Amino acid sequence: MSAHTDQDPDVLITSPDPMHPANHISELCRKFYDLGWVTGTGGGVSIRKEDLVYLAPSGVQKEMMQPEDMFVMDWKTKEYLRRPLNYKPSACTPLFLAAYTHRGAGCCIHTHSQWAVLVTLICESSPDWATRTCFSIKEIEQIKGISRGGSGSDEIAEGGRKLGNLGFFDTLRIPIIENTAHEEDLTGALEQAMLAWPECAAVLVRRHGVYVWGKDVGQAKTQAESLDYLFQLAVRMHGMGLKWT
């Protein structure tokens, strides 16, 4: 039913514009490799633009990612409009789609950053159930890099509810879900966390990593960087016996 199905699928990933999703994802993969987020083909990135979803494939060396490696899905029908023959679709796909469906996101980033993993391990060792299932931190400037809900505008207020980015005196909360044997089996728990924590901008996966989203690439990347900064700072604070909240 897609307007795209009669096209040569390579048209979908061919553009001289560095901001075209196929080029942009390739460039992000190189940056995220340098940040240690996608080591050993782990992690992933997806962009949704209008009715097209672009997805980095499973098992690709992220720093060598090329537009030709990209999967493209029709957002309405969920059918692949382009499938590279030498790759499998990413097991993260249903998790990226959850961010598009439940948060209206335009980009979703999944990292295996050790800081994310270590934060879930520190929380796991807490005797307190609330601490075990949610990472909380406050009064650190970088919190201001995170929007409520993860893809909210930082301009519009609506029906009295506070919108926009978190402030310095707000508490940032990121729920932690338990890992499963297969990545796609995380989908239910991730969607549940998105519904139970409407202000969260990301979901941590215990002993695994984090899913972060944004209304567009700029916001998703800013939030992924700000959260990783906060996870790293929290691990260092924990090592010095300093409390996060």
Instruction: Work out whether the CA dihedral 193, 78, 108, 38 comes out positive or negative.
Output: positive
Given the structure tokens 């924990």, which residue do they identify? Answer: 238
**Consecutive H or E run containing 108:** strand 107-111
Strand partners, 82: 72
Minimum gap (Å) between residue 178 Cβ and a copy of itself: 10
Residues lying near a copy of itself in the complex (CB under 8 A): 31, 39-42, 59, 61, 63, 112, 114, 117-118, 121-122, 125, 139-142, 145, 167-169, 179-181, 205, 207-209, 218, 221-223, 225-226, 228-229, 232-233, 235-240, 242
Q: Residue 11 or residue 35: which is nearer to a copy of itself going by CB?
A: 35
Our CB check for a copy of itself shows the closer of 48 and 62 to be 62
Decide whether 113 or 133 has the Cβ nearer to a copy of itself: 113
d(CA 11, CA 183) in angstroms, rounded, equals: 30
Chain centroid to CA 87: how far?
A: 21
Cβ proximity to a copy of itself: between 12 and 148 the closer is: 148
Cβ closest to a copy of itself, residue 15 vs residue 58: 58
Contact, 174 vs 200, CB < 8 A? yes
Question: Hey, which residues does 172 pair with through a beta bridge?
Answer: 137
* Catalytic hit among 141, 191, 199, 225: 141
141 as an active site residue: the answer is yes
245/243 Cα distance (integer angstroms) = 6
Instruction: Give which of 177, 173, 231 is closest to 204, Cα–Cα.
Output: 177
Residue 236 token pair = 């260092």
Measured CA to CA, the distance from residue 211 to residue 203 in angstroms comes to: 5
**DSSP calls for 170-219:** SEEEEEEE---SSGGGGHHHHHHHHHH-TT-SEEEETTTEEEEEESSHHH
List residues bridging with 173 in a β-sheet.
136
Closest to a copy of itself by CB, 55 or 122: 122
Catalytic residues: 141
